[in-house]
């Protein structure tokens, strides 16, 4: 039998290759291409911190029995990953070089420490002394002392050759609280940019002025450490925050999983580093160029060059949803659908702000996962608590890489009198729900919203997510049951409308798939459309293979990992998999079942991954209102017909672009136009 599943780690690397395609695409504005380089690098950092680290643990385990297959397979997979990463890293360097050449044609120049002009020296010295020097952490390395290299930071390894022929090694951390790129004063029409790395190199004589050296050289390196941890067994008590903080601190000194280094680094210096960092034989050593930590390109300055950026599109209003009027009153009459970034996220914040001062609102309950660093959502909830509302917040302290921010936010909420829930043992709370209780005519009435994305103003500008605003009491009573489950751990409930993990999602979705199989066998047209970030659950892959073999048409729109192999006759002849990577991050999860012509449409917080189905609290919500159901289906249709930014996923994972003879449809552009037409009609 042929290969049945695509390896999830290799599939993820193919997704990141799609991001890199955007960086290489000459139709993408130049500065946006730089930002895609940053996204590619950021993705790769997280991959090594989490996925690679997990595989490495398996590879490093000493087999209790001879010929441990998992151990051998993991070692082979590490080799495959490393080869693929080196290839992608080399491609990214070539693309970056190409972008820099194109920028020169636009009179934008990167210069290094050897290219400084005479009239720039004073500016750079002043900038170094005032801005950079106070933030520098410089560590003299010692053969007799153990040094901690914090995770995911870039360093300069400095080698000083002293006049007495001895060597001193030092580490200089690249400051993270200063922009990596310094815009120098213009010279005529020419705009010069310099990495702070090179400004540091240019001033090494100041940093190490008290050493009697004959030669000094500096090379870049970046260490990535294992960021995965398992806290299922910790005591969910008053010490929970302290436990999370301990794990966050432990991450900074955890096992190294990758060393990216300047390939021009001298052999003795590299050998010294490998020994110092305790790199094992299975760690990933990635040779690179002069500059690392390319994540910083995500925040590359705009340089007042709008012609080198995507045109700014103003977020749209939602038709008939008047943000300056009472939003709860409007929701009491009908449901509304927000699709960010096409619609303004201000509706969600305004609803919370209005609820905070509405005398009829008695309570607000909400789940929070990832938050903006300066969150208006949080200020609205604090405002509500100060106005005497009963505010309950489930805040997920285990949201990876957001733990410290969420701890800080939880302390602010607690100080304002907000009731907090920190989680359930063994489960992350990933649902995106809010419940508002209001007294109308002496009766309790529920309002709320359910979303596919985090309640985060920053990511809402670039992540595509659906949010349903509703006063449907049947749906909201079930949202109340979810909060009851969160407050009173493992108090089980039945649901007729929502699909809720961890206890119901698999069974409910299997029922819906079985219904499509049943209809297909009867000769009734059957179809399943799933829009997901990732698809890794083998039991769902197998179920879709079964449906495909019975004649159900299956369309998968998957941004990231996909373990299902489409277009293999023995498995999936009726399945197509497409992936759109463009300006915005395709983040919404949507499930659609043909249901004999009476389509069932759900928006969800859950991907079809084992962790989402079995180890998280997730909520999928049906869209009942006909006009909103049509909007969701129309946007899926637009995405499915994209022939500009769609890649086809197949058994070879070639990421080939979909091209046909039809008029060009760039789905994200068309989606904006679609909602603009709805607004204006």
Given the residues 219, 292, 343, 430, select the one marked as catalytic: 430
Q: Which two tokens stand for residue 168?
A: 């001193």
In Å, how far from its chain's centre is CA 434?
22
**Cβ(534)–Cβ(607) below 8 Å:** yes
Provide the token pair at 157: 């390894």
Residue 601, C-beta contacts closer than 8 angstroms, at least 6 positions apart: 590, 591, 592, 622, 623, 629, 632, 633
Q: Give ∠ CA 69-70-76 in degrees, rounded to 5.
A: 90
pLDDT attached to residue 148: 57
Q: Shortest CA distance to 482 belongs to which of 589, 572, 365?
A: 365
Annotation: CATH topology of 499-680:
Endonuclease; Chain A (3.30.870)
CA dist 641 and 673 (Å) reads 15
What are 185-229's pLDDT values in tens digits? 998 899 999 999 999 999 999 999 989 899 999 998 887 766 655
Helix (H, G, I), strand (E, B) or coil at 282: coil
Structure tokens of 487? 């407050």
Residue 42 has pLDDT above 70, yes or no: yes
Task: Say how far apart CA 177 and CA 296 lie, in whole Å.
Answer: 11
Listed in sequence order, the DSSP H helices in 304-374 are 327-331, 346-357
State pLDDT tens for residues 363-405. Answer: 999 999 888 888 999 999 999 999 999 999 998 877 666 677 7
Q: Specify the DSSP class assigned to residue 18.
A: H
Length in residues, the chain: 681
Q: Do domains 8-308 and 499-680 have the same CATH topology?
A: no
Under the banding of pLDDT at 50, 70 and 90, the label for residue 238 is very low
pLDDT category at 54 given cuts 50, 70, 90 is confident
HSE, CB side, 13 Å, CA atoms: give it for residue 392.
16
Task: Report how far residue 166's alpha carbon sits from residue 161's, in angstroms, rounded to the nearest whole number.
Answer: 6
Mean pLDDT calculated for residue range 411-420: 91
User: Cα angle at 577 between 574 and 579, to 5 degrees?
Assistant: 165
- CA-to-CA distance for 633 and 627, rounded, in angstroms? 10
Q: Tell me: the pLDDT tens digits for 425-450? A: 778 899 999 999 999 999 999 999 99
Is residue 386 within 8 Å of residue 359, measured between CB atoms?
A: no
pLDDT at 411: 87
β 361-368/390-395 pair status: parallel
Strands 656-657 and 589-593: unpaired
Tokens coding 426:
């063994």
- Which CATH code for domain 8-308? 3.30.1840.10
Quick one: pLDDT at residue 152?
58
The predicted model scores a pTM of 0.90
* Averaged pLDDT score across all residues of the chain: 89
3-state class (DSSP) for residue 57: helix
List the domain boundaries for the chain: 8-308, 327-487, 499-680
Our answer to whether residue 430 is catalytic in this structure is yes
- Using one digit for the tens of pLDDT, what is the confidence trace for 524-575? 999 999 999 999 999 999 999 999 999 999 999 999 999 998 876 566 689 9
**Which of helix, strand or coil describes residue 549?**
helix
- Which overall architecture, per CATH, does domain 327-487 show? 2-Layer Sandwich (3.30)
**pLDDT at position 217, please?**
92
Confidence of residue 233 (pLDDT cuts 50, 70, 90): very low
pLDDT per residue over 58-76, tens digit each? 777 654 445 555 667 888 8
């Amino acid at each position: 039998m042929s290969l049945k599943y695509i390896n999830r780690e290799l599939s993820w690397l193919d997704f990141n290759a799609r991001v890199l395609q955007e960086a290489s695409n000459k139709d993408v504005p130049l500065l946006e291409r730089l930002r895609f380089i940053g996204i590619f690098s950021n993705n790769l950092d997280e991959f090594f911190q989490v996925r690679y680290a997990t595989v490495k643990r398996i590879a490093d385990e000493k087999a209790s029995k001879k010929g441990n297959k998992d151990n051998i397979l993991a070692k082979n997979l590490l080799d495959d990953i490393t080869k693929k990463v080196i290839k992608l890293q080399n491609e990214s360097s070539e693309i970056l070089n190409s972008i820099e050449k194109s920028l020169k044609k636009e009179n934008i120049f990167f210069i290094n420490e050897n290219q400084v002009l005479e009239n720039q020296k004073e500016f750079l010295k002043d900038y170094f002394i005032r801005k950079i020097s106070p933030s520098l952490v410089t560590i003299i390395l010692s053969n007799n002392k153990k040094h901690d290299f914090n995770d995911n930071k870039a360093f300069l390894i400095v080698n000083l050759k002293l006049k007495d022929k001895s060597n001193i090694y030092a580490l200089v951390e690249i400051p993270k609280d200063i922009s990596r790129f310094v815009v120098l004063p213009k010279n005529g029409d020419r705009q010069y940019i310099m990495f702070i790395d090179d400004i540091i190199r240019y001033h090494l004589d100041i940093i190490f002025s008290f050493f009697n050296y004959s030669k000094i050289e500096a090379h870049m390196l970046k260490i990535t450490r294992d960021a995965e941890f398992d806290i299922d067994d910790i005591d969910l008590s008053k010490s929970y925050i302290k436990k999370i903080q301990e794990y966050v601190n432990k991450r900074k000194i955890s096992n190294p999983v990758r060393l990216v280094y300047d390939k021009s680094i001298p052999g003795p210096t590299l050998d010294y580093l490998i020994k110092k960092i305790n790199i094992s034989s299975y760690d990933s050593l990635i040779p690179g160029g002069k500059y690392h930590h390319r994540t910083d390109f995500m925040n590359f300055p705009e340089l007042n060059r709008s012609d080198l950026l995507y045109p700014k599109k103003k977020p749209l209003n939602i038709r008939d949803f008047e943000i300056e009027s009472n939003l709860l009153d409007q929701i009491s009459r009908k449901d509304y659908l927000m699709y960010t970034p096409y619609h303004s996220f201000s509706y969600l914040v305004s609803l919370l702000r209005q609820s905070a001062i509405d005398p009829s609102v008695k309570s607000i309950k909400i789940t929070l996962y990832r938050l903006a660093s300066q969150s208006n959502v949080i200020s609205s909830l604090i405002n509500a608590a100060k106005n005497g509302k009963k505010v309950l917040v489930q805040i997920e302290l285990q949201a990876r890489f957001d733990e410290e921010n969420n701890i800080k936010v939880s302390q602010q909420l607690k100080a304002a009198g907000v009731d907090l829930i920190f989680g359930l043992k063994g489960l992350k709370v990933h649902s995106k729900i809010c419940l508002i209780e209001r007294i109308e005519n002496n009766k309790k009435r529920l309002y709320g919203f359910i979303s596919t994305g985090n309640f985060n103003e920053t990511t809402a500008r670039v992540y595509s997510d659906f949010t349903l605003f509703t006063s449907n009491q049947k749906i909201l009573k079930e949202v109340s049951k979810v909060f009851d489950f969160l407050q009173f751990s493992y108090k089980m409930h039945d649901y007729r409308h929502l699909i809720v993990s961890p206890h119901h999602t698999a069974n409910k979705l299997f029922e819906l798939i079985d219904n499509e199989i049943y209809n297909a066998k009867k000769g009734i047209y059957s179809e399943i459309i799933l829009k997901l970030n990732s698809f890794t659950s083998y039991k769902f892959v197998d179920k879709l293979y079964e449906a495909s073999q019975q004649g159900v048409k299956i369309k998968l729109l998957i941004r990231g990992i996909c373990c299902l192999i489409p277009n293999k006759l023995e498995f999936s002849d009726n399945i197509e998999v497409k992936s759109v990577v463009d300006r915005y991050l395709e983040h919404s999860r949507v499930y659609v079942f043909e249901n004999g012509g009476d389509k069932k449409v759900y928006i969800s917080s859950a991907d079809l991954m084992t962790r989402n189905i079995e180890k998280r609290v997730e909520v999928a919500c049906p869209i009942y209102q006909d006009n909103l159901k049509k909007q969701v289906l129309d946007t899926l249709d637009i995405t499915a017909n994209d022939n500009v930014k769609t890649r086809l996923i197949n058994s070879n994972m070639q990421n080939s672009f979909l091209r046909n003879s039809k008029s060009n449809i760039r789905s994200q552009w068309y989606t904006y136009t679609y909602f603009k037409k709805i607004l204006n009609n």
